[in-house]
């Protein structure tokens, strides 16, 4: 159960805390080498402990971000080759994640007729394109690829990415505030995901971010990801 709680906490740290950063290199064959750092805010860690007690875990001494436990669990996710996360504090981790091919990452149960979570192409000419798509239809499917229990926990946070419910961001924050308190809602509202990725060639255009040389940078409000009031679509092209 601790392993499950840890990977749930990693997902919440990356998608619902104030400190999350992803950097890495995407190679021409679709392989990605990422460096992830994430930490839980104190109130979010307290909330997770409350939710784990409600679920019947009964343990009060859980370290919610346990690097080795998360590594063991997340290494079984679709498309993941290896994970080696270490604790930098009780509720903070960092370390490398290697993905075999980004086209298969967390996407194995998404129908061919739907937009893939990640779509990567590299042409013989050296030009290439990578898109990332996320909406209320694909969100729950992607969560299920990690663990169905993550959907349960994020559903407890009333996050539409897990429930599929149509909500505005303001309405979602109001609901979180009414159930868990304004401080939790404020933490979620302030949270951002920072991503900096190097691509196989010189970046020529980016949708949803900025670029310089081979790198594209994204600064994404995590509220946008949790609520998906508008489907998210990011695109990078290079040559």
Residues 126-175 have pLDDT tens digits of 899 999 988 998 888 887 776 666 677 788 889 999 898 999 999 999 99
Q: How many other CB atoms are there within 10 angstroms of residue 29's CB atom? A: 11
Q: pLDDT higher for 3 or 42?
A: 42
Give the pair of three-digit tokens for residue 28: 């021409």
> Strands 210-212 and 215-221, how do they pair?
antiparallel
pLDDT tens-digit map of 203-212: 999 999 999 9
Give tens-digit pLDDT for 42-82.
Answer: 777 777 777 666 545 444 444 566 788 778 777 877 788 99
Contact of 85 with 71, CB cutoff 8 Å: yes
Helices (H), the chain: 2-16, 42-54, 67-74, 138-146, 148-156, 160-163, 169-180, 182-190, 222-227
Specify the number of domains making up the chain.
Answer: 1
Q: Confidence band (pLDDT; 50, 70, 90) for 5?
A: very low
To the question of pTM greater than 0.85 for the whole model, the response is no
Q: Which domain holds residue 132?
A: 2-238
- Run of H or E residues at 197: strand 192-198
Distance CA 133, CA 151 (A): 19
Q: What is the mean pLDDT of the chain?
A: 82
Q: What are phi and psi of 112, to 5 degrees?
A: -60, -25
Residue tagged 């194995």 (tokens): 108
pLDDT at position 20 over 50: yes
pLDDT > 90 fraction of the chain, expressed in percent and rounded: 40
**Can you tell me the distance from the alpha carbon of 191 to that of 82, in angstroms, rounded to the nearest whole number?**
27
For the chain, how many helices (H) and strands (E)? 9, 12
């Amino acid at each position: 159960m601790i392993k499950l709680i840890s990977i749930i906490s990693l997902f919440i740290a990356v998608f619902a805390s104030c400190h999350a950063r992803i950097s890495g290199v995407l190679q021409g064959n679709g392989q990605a080498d990422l460096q992830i750092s994430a930490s839980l805010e104190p109130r979010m860690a307290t909330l997770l402990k409350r939710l784990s007690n409600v679920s019947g875990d009964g343990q009060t001494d859980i370290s919610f971000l346990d690097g080795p436990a998360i590594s063991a669990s997340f290494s079984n996710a679709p498309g993941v080759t290896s994970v080696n996360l270490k604790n930098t504090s009780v509720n903070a981790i960092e370390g490398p994640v290697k993905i075999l091919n980004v086209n298969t990452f967390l996407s194995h149960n998404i129908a061919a007729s739907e937009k893939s979570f990640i779509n990567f192409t590299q042409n013989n000419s050296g030009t290439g394109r990578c898109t990332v798509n996320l909406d209320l239809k694909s969100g729950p499917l992607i969560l299920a690829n990690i663990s169905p229990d993550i959907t349960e926990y994020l559903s407890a946070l009333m996050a539409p990415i897990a429930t599929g419910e149509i909500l505005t961001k303001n309405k979602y924050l109001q609901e979180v505030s009414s159930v868990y308190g304004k401080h939790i809602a404020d933490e979620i509202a302030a949270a951002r995901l920072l991503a900096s990725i190097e691509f196989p060639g010189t970046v020529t255009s980016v949708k949803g971010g900025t670029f310089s040389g081979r790198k594209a940078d994204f600064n994404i409000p995590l509220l946008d990801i949790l609520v998906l009031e508008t489907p998210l679509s990011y695109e990078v092209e290079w040559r």
